[in-house]
Chain A
């Protein structure tokens, strides 16, 4: 409960610093609501925790996003985040703490989706079933919660700029677990994501790895929900990796680019949001979307020149592509 109180206090102070109301809707006011760099240096110092949290989250999201994409699990991420929201709301209602609640919620969701949904079709339907249930549960808990309403809204769309020390501690610990876990399983996980049958024949524990991955994904979602909110988790766990995959297929370049994109979105978004009175999430989602759009344009231009992915330079690509379409699928 102490944590929540501190969150509210910090949010209140951030809101006063934003100092504008929506009713005065002149262009200048709108601009100062969106971007306000008065006393910027002081703000940065005051909210250094949020910036650090954003950087850590960018690292986690960028790395795990590569596997979310290669395992085709974007929709599952969304499902997990709704259950994480339910957990966080329950944590708020019962005074257990938002972080703890969202952790429990997303781990349960990740395990359920991982165990019941080993095939893509099953996974999608299970996710679709879990998602509204989680959202409903979350809304129920929030409706019963007597505290501040902006706090409630924050779980869905992101906290303004309010990461206290214990919260940052949680984030860092979880992030370290996720990153260390990913580095250990990286190669066999990539193998089993690309071709589970061959990986299994080579002795890779495909099933075990898929559960480990779901747990790591659950942890990543839980920390992301804290910052960007349940509805916008995809913007750090999927968009940066999807953008990176548009411009490269190298197993080194893709994760590096994905992390850079995620960090730029997170830290950039928080820095822009500092002075305004608007939640950070629109800044983050806009930056990450813009990066994705630019990457798509780059990929399109390259394809036009007949060299997608930057590999083959002899101009055979277009004929290869055409050839592929004529091959009969079983």
Chain B
């Protein structure tokens, strides 16, 4: 197998006296799609922050492309939680993508044929060519999220970090954005860490699942990890994993004794049928 783009060895992350996860061994290989699951406060986003060089490990090692992780590494593409652009944003779709290409450079952007061609290529790759010149603030959430995928892919990253990229998208757009990420990681051999509270939109796309809970974790294929016995052991209380019509629903984790980072009471809402949009909102909001 090829050299992993990212590896963690015996990695531990602790905030004050609370251990988010410890002993984490993880290799992300080129082109591998790994979903990161877990309750709120289980340290999913913190894992991404460690890889982005914003948080430091409390113990263990991490290496990216064989070297240490550094803040602002441009071989990493990052797609944050969906956030709609404000009305006063002086950018069109293609300008947002171009920022992913050279937005870190000083000065004002000079138009060039090469730059144009590159941006056009990325827009085509995320199927956003038809609204290339439309102001981003007038685009729908799904269209904007496609552009963010494009922005993250623009500079040929080796690793793509996605933090709940499907949040607040409707089902059709969830599917479209997931497939976009899936196609591009295969075509360009990009490792993907995909933080999500709901595995279902990407269930048939992921290679492996990293499930974080109660200071510990499980890694494996969805079939290996998303099982009643495995999750019951992970949570230390009975959990039922129900598979129904190609979807996975995890039941019984609300009472699971796991700590929350900020003392907030948070219902465990990891898996549910996203077909019930109302339920979806109720469960996500209090977090």
In angstroms, Cα B13 to Cα A143, docked, is: 59
Q: B107 touches which one: A187, A195, A255, A330 (CB < 8 A)?
A: A187
Beyond A70-B90, A187-B103, A203-B72, 15 additional pairs, beta carbon < 8 A? A184-B107, A186-B109, A188-B104, A198-B78, A198-B80, A245-B87, A249-B89, A312-B130, A320-B143, A321-B138, A324-B139, A327-B169, A328-B168, A330-B81, A330-B82
B60-102 residues with Cβ-Cβ distance < 8 A to A are 71-74, 76, 78-92, 95-96, 99-100, 102
Is A328 in contact with B277, judged by CB distance below 8 angstroms?
A: yes
The contact size tier of chain B is: 35 or more
A307-326 residues with Cβ-Cβ distance < 8 A to B are 308-309, 311-312, 314, 317, 320-321, 323-324, 326
Is A202 in contact with B95, judged by CB distance below 8 angstroms?
A: no
In angstroms, Cα B103 to Cα A201, docked, is: 11
Q: B131 touches which one: A202, A244, A251, A312 (CB < 8 A)?
A: A312
B12 on the A face (CB < 8 A):
no
| A188-B103, A202-B100 known; A249 vs B136 contact (CB < 8 Å) | yes
| A204-B103, A242-B88, A245-B88 known; A251 vs B95 contact (CB < 8 Å) | yes
Is B85 in contact with A311, judged by CB distance below 8 angstroms?
A: no
Shortest C-beta distance, B161 to chain A (Å), equals 8
The 4 closest A-B pairs by CB, nearest first: A203-B72, A249-B135, A311-B134, A191-B103
Query: Mind listing 26 A-B residue pairs with CB under 8 Å?
Result: A183-B107, A184-B106, A187-B106, A190-B90, A191-B99, A197-B78, A198-B79, A198-B99, A199-B103, A202-B100, A203-B104, A204-B103, A249-B89, A250-B92, A251-B91, A309-B135, A311-B92, A311-B138, A317-B138, A324-B84, A326-B170, A327-B140, A328-B277, A330-B81, A330-B82, A330-B168
| A201-B72, A201-B76 known; A188 vs B105 contact (CB < 8 Å) | yes
Shortest C-beta distance, B156 to chain A (Å), equals 13
**Contact residues in B for A200 (Cβ distance below 8 Å):** 54, 71-72
B198-232 residues with Cβ-Cβ distance < 8 A to A are none
Shortest C-beta distance, B65 to chain A (Å), equals 15
In angstroms, Cα B48 to Cα A197, docked, is: 12
**Contact residues in B for A191 (Cβ distance below 8 Å):** 99, 103-104
Residue of A with least CB distance to B92: A249
Q: B105 touches which one: A187, A242, A245, A255 (CB < 8 A)?
A: A187
User: Chain A, 247-258, contact with B by CB distance < 8 Å: what is the 0/1 string?
Assistant: 011110011000
**Contact residues in A for B72 (Cβ distance below 8 Å):** 200-204
User: Which of B87, B88, B106, B148 has its CB near the most chain A CB atoms (within 10 A)?
Assistant: B88
Q: A320 touches which one: B79, B139, B281 (CB < 8 A)?
A: B139
A208-267 residues with Cβ-Cβ distance < 8 A to B are 242, 244-245, 248-251, 254-255
Q: B73 touches which one: A203, A312, A324 (CB < 8 A)?
A: A203
Is A327 in contact with B135, judged by CB distance below 8 angstroms?
A: no
User: Which of A245, A320, A323, A328 has its CB near the most chain B CB atoms (within 10 A)?
Assistant: A328
Is B107 in contact with A186, judged by CB distance below 8 angstroms?
A: yes
In angstroms, Cα B104 to Cα A321, docked, is: 31
**Contact residues in A for B85 (Cβ distance below 8 Å):** 194
A69 on the B face (CB < 8 A):
yes
B133 on the A face (CB < 8 A):
yes
Is B78 in contact with A328, judged by CB distance below 8 angstroms?
A: no
Is B139 in contact with A327, judged by CB distance below 8 angstroms?
A: no
Shortest C-beta distance, A216 to chain B (Å), equals 15
**Contact residues in B for A330 (Cβ distance below 8 Å):** 81-82, 167-168, 284-285
Shortest C-beta distance, A76 to chain B (Å), equals 14
**Contact residues in B for A314 (Cβ distance below 8 Å):** 130
Residue of A with least CB distance to B137: A249
In angstroms, Cα B92 to Cα A311, docked, is: 8
A66 on the B face (CB < 8 A):
yes
**Contact residues in A for B78 (Cβ distance below 8 Å):** 197-198, 201-202
Residue of A with least CB distance to B72: A203
B141 on the A face (CB < 8 A):
yes
Is A324 in contact with B99, judged by CB distance below 8 angstroms?
A: no
**Contact residues in B for A66 (Cβ distance below 8 Å):** 90
Shortest C-beta distance, A249 to chain B (Å), equals 3
**Contact residues in A for B143 (Cβ distance below 8 Å):** 320
Residue of A with least CB distance to B111: A252
Q: A69 touches which one: B84, B88, B92, B155 (CB < 8 A)?
A: B88
User: Chain B, 165-197, contact with A by CB distance < 8 Å: what is the 0/1 string?
Assistant: 001111000000000000000000000000000
B1 on the A face (CB < 8 A):
no
User: Which of A69, A308, A329 has its CB near the most chain B CB atoms (within 10 A)?
Assistant: A329
**Contact residues in B for A328 (Cβ distance below 8 Å):** 168, 170, 277, 280-281
Is B90 in contact with A251, judged by CB distance below 8 angstroms?
A: yes
